Amino acid sequence: MDKILIHGGHPLSGSIKVSGSKNSSLPILAATLLTREPCVVHGVPDLSDTHYMLQILIHLGAQVERASGTVSVSADNIGSVAPYDVVRKMRASICVLGPLLGRCKEATVSLPGGCVIGDRPIDLHLKGFEGLGAAVRVEGGNVKVFAPKLTGAVINLRGKFGPTVLGTDNMMMAAVLADGVTVIEGAAQEPEVVDLANFLNKMGAKIEGAGTRRIIIEGVAALHGTEHDVIPDRIEAGTFLVAGAICGQGITVKRIEPEHVRSITDALASCGFPVNIADHAISISPNGEAKALELTTDPYPGFPSDMQAQMCALLSTTDGISVVTENIFPQRYMHVAELKRMGAQMQLEGATAVIQGVDRLFGAPVMASDLRASAALVLAGLKADGITEVSRVYHIDRGYERLDEKLSELGAHIERVKAA
């Protein structure tokens, strides 16, 4: 397995460009299953997760071509069964359920396995499908949904931890070809949901209200092919902004949608980092006296759970006591034990991390456990004295396109050691 070695303490400067959004690309690629006609999607990042999604589409019978960031999918004749072997590597595989149900009126998809960031149920997805008139059965590790016809309905998708992103995506994709009008109450408002709705509307769907808590979908008889550019990855952008805060001499993150990262730039500004926001670029400058912060993760437009680990890395080196509460995935703290091995002082109290900022972190061998926790370890390694060796780098490759190369372009001393 590849490792990443970071020689810490080398300041970053210059600019980098953000890749297309992983969490937009995945449901948008799944949505290409909704039409027999070809679709072309630009800006799809080269990640193992997007690769897995294309493997699923190919398994289902789609013709797929990929040339750098552009993916063409032609799903003329497709099946409706995605077995464990093809879906097990990625939880987001679940978002083929909606389009398969919409188009084929049936789907069998193996249930995604456990996940280190916590229990990840799909009860709200299934409740939504039932609301459209589908029968749902979970047996033999598979979820099977089928309906002679789907009928629009009012569906509330708000759960104990707030709205569901992929649940909202799944529901939109099933409802676009249903008879009548579907109203999703308690919908997720994330920019990736809006991007998917825009893609579906370009295919001929009639969706209004994406980006608000209520989405209204008027079913249509068929969708057609289209072409689309996915939005920039706001979590990659945020990760680089934190890199600039933790170890920068002034860096600029380009190809960014400032509104999408507002909660992140607000948090960084509250810590005392000068943040300069232009049209599609944000610069961050160092501050030798950064302050502690109280931070809670919340559904968009709140501070994203996907940036919590990276902020913990930053706050471990800012003066004072920071308090971080994770409201989306209360157990998403796998990075804490590893950061402590690098000298961070943090205590977990339920879903809250209490962080006492330290002056220095120390390089150490650490283990990546999930995508965002791994990014946090890399960020801590940029700041730490000595060498940090991050193993299980495949977690990073799931969601960051060329992270090591981009950091290197900014001046980080970082190298990937290929597995023998």
Active site positions, annotated: 115
Q: Of 122 and 242, which has the nearer Cβ to ligand EPU?
A: 122
Is 406 a residue that touches ligand EPU (CB under 6 A)? no
Q: Of 4 and 235, which has the nearer Cβ to ligand EPU?
A: 235
Closest approach of ligand EPU to the CB of residue 164, in Å: 3
Is 306 a residue that touches ligand EPU (CB under 6 A)? yes
Instruction: Please report, as a single letter, which amino acid is at residue 159.
Output: G
Two structure tokens written together for 363: 């390089």
Closest approach of ligand EPU to the CB of residue 4, in Å: 18
Residue of the chain from 33, 47, 150, 166 that contacts ligand EPU (CB under 6 A): 166
Q: Are the CB atoms for 359 and 316 separated by under 8 Å?
A: no
User: Restricting to residues 319-358, which ones interact with ligand EPU according to CB under 6 A?
Assistant: 328-329
In terms of DSSP H, where are the helices of 281-402?
308-315, 334-341, 371-383, 394-399
Residue of the chain from 66, 120, 280, 416 that contacts ligand EPU (CB under 6 A): 120
Q: Of 72 and 327, which has the nearer Cβ to ligand EPU?
A: 327
Is 23 a residue that touches ligand EPU (CB under 6 A)? yes
Q: What angle do CA 296, 197, 230 make, to 5 degrees?
A: 80
Give the whole-angstrom CA distance, residue 206 versus residue 259.
25
Angle of helix 308-315 versus helix 371-383 axis, rounded to 10 = 20
Q: Number of residues in contact with ligand EPU, rule: CB under 6 A?
A: 25
Letters for 55-94 (x = contact with ligand EPU by CB under 6 A, - = none) are -------------------------------------x--
Q: Is the dihedral of CA 324, 26, 71, 85 positive or negative?
A: positive
Q: Which of the ranges 54-62, 155-163, 171-179, 346-354 carries the binding residues for ligand EPU, by CB under 6 A? A: 155-163
SS3 state at 371: helix
Nearest to 168, CA basis, from 189, 148, 143: 189
Q: Of 160 and 418, which has the nearer Cβ to ligand EPU?
A: 160
Q: Of 192 and 397, which has the nearer Cβ to ligand EPU?
A: 192
User: Restricting to residues 230-249, which ones interact with ligand EPU according to CB under 6 A?
Assistant: none
Q: Which of the ranges 77-85, 118-126, 257-265, 345-353 carries the binding residues for ligand EPU, by CB under 6 A? A: 118-126
- Sheet (strand 106-110) strand order: 81-82, 106-110, 142-146, 135-139
Give the whole-angstrom CA distance, residue 345 versus residue 368.
19
Question: Cα dist. 253→127, 279, 284, 420 in Å?
Answer: 40, 11, 8, 34
Q: Of 80 and 308, which has the nearer Cβ to ligand EPU?
A: 308
Interface residues with ligand EPU (CB under 6 A) are 23, 26, 92, 120-125, 159-161, 164-167, 188, 192, 305-306, 328-329, 371-372, 399
